[in-house]
Structure 1
Amino acid sequence: MEKNQNNIQDKLIAQQEKIERKFQGIGKGKYSRIMKMAKKPNGDEYTKVLLIAGFGIVFLGFIGFVIYLLMSVYF
């Protein structure tokens, strides 16, 4: 049982190291400028984005519903 548990731990550690190596250069390549400029939005910014995205979803749903009604009436 102990040998099997060590084998699993070794595999998990190897996988973790592989993931860390993959993301190690993320700040050095073509995305470095974006990562440096990115910041966490404050509450006001988050609310604005949420409202705009919500309005867009509702608007597209309304357009789809109108198309559905037109197709069900005329076809």
Structure 2
Amino acid sequence: MSIEDKAEEIQQNLERRFSSIGKGKYARILRMARKPTRDEYIKVLVITAVGLLIIGGVGFIIYLLMDVYFKIP
């Protein structure tokens, strides 16, 4: 089997796998998907940033408590 034949076989396998996108159980979701508006995007961005700050703050407080009370020599 030549390199061209192998490449063609790989190409056909990939096309076969991706041809079913949009036809399965997620097809409805893909058809309903749309680009978010600027306001939606900013809201998601702000909520994500606040969540990261809260989680980072809690982690930092835990680190400080561990450093003060459980100091390993």
TM exceeds 0.5? yes
The structural deviation recorded for 1:16 is: 4.7
The one-letter code matched in structure 1 to 2:57 is: F
Q: Given the two structures, how large is their TM-score scaled by the length of structure 2? A: 0.75
- Find runs of 4+ consecutive structure 1 residues off by over 2 angstroms: 13-21
The alignment's C-alpha RMSD in Å is 2.1
The one-letter code matched in structure 2 to 1:23 is: F
Alignment length (residue pairs): 69
Distance 1:68 1:41, change over 3 A: same
User: Which of 60, 66, 69 is the equivalent residue of 1:74?
Assistant: 69
* Counterparts of 1:41 and 1:53, CA distance in 2: 15
2:60 corresponds in structure 1 to: 65
The structural deviation recorded for 1:20 is: 3.2
Structure number with the higher helix fraction is: 1
- In structure 1, the gaps of 5 or more residues are 1-6
Provide, for residues 14-73 of structure 1, a one-character-per-residue CA deviation record: whole Å limited to 9, x for no partner. 555443332221111011111111111011111111111111111100000000011111
Identity of aligned residues (%): 52
Q: Given the two structures, how large is their TM-score scaled by the length of structure 1? A: 0.73
Larger relative contact order, structure 1 or 2 (CA cutoff 8 Å, min sep 6): 2
